Amino acid sequence: MQVRFKLLDAFKNIRYFSTTRFYEGYVFNPGFVNHINKNLTVNDRTKLSHIYNIPLSSFVFGNQTHSDHITHINAKDKGKGLYRKEDAVANNDAFICTEPDICPVVFSADCVPIILFDPINSYTAVIHSGWRGTLNEILLKTISKLNQLGSNSSDIICCNGPSAGPCCYEVKDDVFQLFNDKYPHLHELILTPFNNQWKLNLWELLKYQALSSGILQKNIEISEICTMCNSSLFHSARIHKDKSGRNATGIYLIPDNF
């Protein structure tokens, strides 16, 4: 299967992807996590480049830390982290890109991967937002940076990829408390009691954050595919534990002469 977003498919000047666990019958893992042989990771990145017709040298990878750190990348960053984790963009969970021919990529396995696209300015962004990133409002902060660069929120398209859904995403009291303290008015929407614990709805909270940043309802698309319910199709850190690979999500603005 392929993950597609209707809102992004309307534009011919971008290519994007949100990958799955298998490709042509083989485990597909473009993340360096849990690949004993890192050549396999590079092989899968090469496949990714071929499948989506994006130059391999245009990929930019980061070392994610569940932070709210955002990097505005440019042509000098192309290829970072492609062959070695050590030279990926350090301590980073969101990329903003305002030039063509660059493909920022985030990894996830239950956390929410988000693609932003401003078709007026041709700006792109990708975000890794798990519970920590969502609590630290990395989506809001990325939109705010895009606004500073000249984007109007009402033009921005926001697509959230496969991730742990409200059906499965259990959190313990400590995490419940953090969300309940920060968003008491959203308690009913985002927290559901379950087996003396709680289930957290990151999909609704991220939608709320997008709307409160001025993104229009009609410009928000949530895949609503739960990686835990569908762990045969997607890498899931909670289901596959330390054997989990990573799903990759990226967006590429096609240069005029491509």
Please choose, out of 5-13, 49-57, 164-172, 216-224, the segment that lies near Zn ion by the rule CB under 5 A: 164-172
Q: Within the chain, how many helices (H) and strands (E) appear?
A: 8, 15
Strand 191-194 relative to strand 197-200, pairing: antiparallel
**Euclidean distance between CA atoms 111 and 99, whole angstroms:** 27
Q: Could you tell me how many residues of this chain bind Zn ion (CB under 5 A)?
A: 6
Residue closer to Zn ion by CB (options 220, 229) is 229
167 binds Zn ion (CB under 5 A): yes
Q: Which residue matches tokens 């289901």?
A: 239
200 binds Zn ion (CB under 5 A): no
What minimum distance in Å lies between the beta carbon of 23 and Zn ion?
23
Please choose, out of 53-61, 110-118, 171-179, 225-233, the segment that lies near Zn ion by the rule CB under 5 A: 225-233
**Euclidean distance between CA atoms 95 and 27, whole angstroms:** 26
245 binds Zn ion (CB under 5 A): no
Residue nearest to Zn ion (CB): 226
Phi and psi at residue 62, to the nearest 5°: -125, 165
Residue closer to Zn ion by CB (options 234, 252) is 234
139 binds Zn ion (CB under 5 A): no
229 binds Zn ion (CB under 5 A): yes
What minimum distance in Å lies between the beta carbon of 227 and Zn ion?
8
Residue closer to Zn ion by CB (options 165, 245) is 165
Q: Which of residues 80-119 bind Zn ion (CB under 5 A)?
A: none
Residue closer to Zn ion by CB (options 73, 168) is 168
Rg from Cα positions in the chain: 17
Please choose, out of 31-39, 59-67, 191-199, 221-229, the segment that lies near Zn ion by the rule CB under 5 A: 221-229
Residue closer to Zn ion by CB (options 158, 228) is 228
- Taking 3-state DSSP, the helix, strand and coil percentages for the chain, each rounded to the nearest 5, stand at 35, 25, 40
Residue closer to Zn ion by CB (options 58, 223) is 223
Residue closer to Zn ion by CB (options 64, 236) is 236
Question: Which residue among 109, 135, 157, 226 contacts Zn ion (CB under 5 A)?
Answer: 226
Phi and psi at residue 164, to the nearest 5°: -65, 125
Q: Which helix (H) or strand (E) holds 49?
A: helix 38-52
Q: Which residues contact 142 (CB under 8 A, 6 or more apart)?
A: 70, 94, 96, 116, 125, 127
What minimum distance in Å lies between the beta carbon of 69 and Zn ion?
29
HSE value, Cβ hemisphere, 13 Å, CA-based, for 185? 1
Q: Do residues 70 and 95 make contact, with C-beta atoms less than 8 angstroms apart?
A: yes
168 binds Zn ion (CB under 5 A): yes
Q: For the residues of 97-121, what is the DSSP string, one character each?
A: E-SSS-EEEEEESSSEEEEEEETTT
**Residues engaged in binding Zn ion (CB under 5 A):** 165, 167-168, 226, 228-229
